[in-house]
């Protein structure tokens, strides 16, 4: 069976091979994540990675290191599909929890900005780009 892959602009993505989860399970988790993110967008909110993960699957806990996090790959795939369809990057809604009560960390991880940069977005000022993308996602007619 062919691995999930997508090419958008200069970005070529191929889902990593996991030995502990099937592509069908990944697709089901991605569908759940998309539904939750659309509901979150309609409320004009963001969601923490650590809050989204158990809603998508409690079998595969969220890991801080994105190289090992299924969630990072799932939301990356969702944003690539959104970009391919001309929609805003829905993964903009998924943010880190603040550390020690500081609100400054309530932004997406570096993978979000790397993906956006690869898609040709201007991410020179990450906070400005991210906040405008959140507005675009929340204003979008899902």
Task: Please state, rounded to an integer, the average pLDDT across all residues of the chain.
Answer: 87
- How confident is residue 85, by pLDDT bands cut at 50, 70 and 90? very high
Tell me the pLDDT tens digit for each residue of 18-44: 767 888 888 999 999 999 999 999 999
Q: Whole-angstrom Cα distance, residue 62 to residue 120?
A: 29
* pTM of this structure: 0.87
Count of helices and strands (H, E) across the chain: 5, 4
- The SS3 assignment for 1 reads coil
Q: Is the pLDDT of residue 17 over 70?
A: yes
Angle between helices 23-42 and 49-56 (to 10 degrees): 130
Tell me the pLDDT tens digit for each residue of 87-102: 999 999 999 888 765 5
Query: Which region holds residue 97: left if phi is over 0, alpha if psi is between -120 and 50, else beta?
Result: beta
Bridge partners (DSSP) listed for residue 121? none
- How confident is residue 103, by pLDDT bands cut at 50, 70 and 90? low
In this prediction, residues 107-119 reach a mean pLDDT of 93
Q: Is the pLDDT of residue 67 over 60?
A: no
């Amino acid at each position: 069976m062919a691995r999930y892959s997508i090419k958008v602009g200069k970005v070529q993505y191929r889902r990593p091979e996991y030995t502990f989860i099937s592509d069908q399970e990944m697709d089901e988790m991605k569908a759940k994540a998309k539904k939750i993110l659309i509901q979150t967008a309609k409320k004009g909110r963001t969601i923490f990675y650590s809050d989204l993960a158990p809603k998508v699957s409690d079998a595969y806990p969220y890991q801080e290191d994105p190289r090992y996090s299924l969630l990072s790959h799932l939301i990356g795939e969702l944003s690539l599909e959104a970009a391919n369809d001309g929609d805003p990057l829905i993964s903009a809604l998924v943010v880190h929890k603040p550390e020690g009560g500081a609100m400054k960390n309530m932004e997406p991880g570096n993978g979000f900005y790397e993906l956006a940069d690869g898609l040709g977005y201007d991410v020179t000022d990450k906070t400005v780009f991210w906040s405008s993308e959140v507005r675009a996602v929340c204003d979008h007619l899902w």
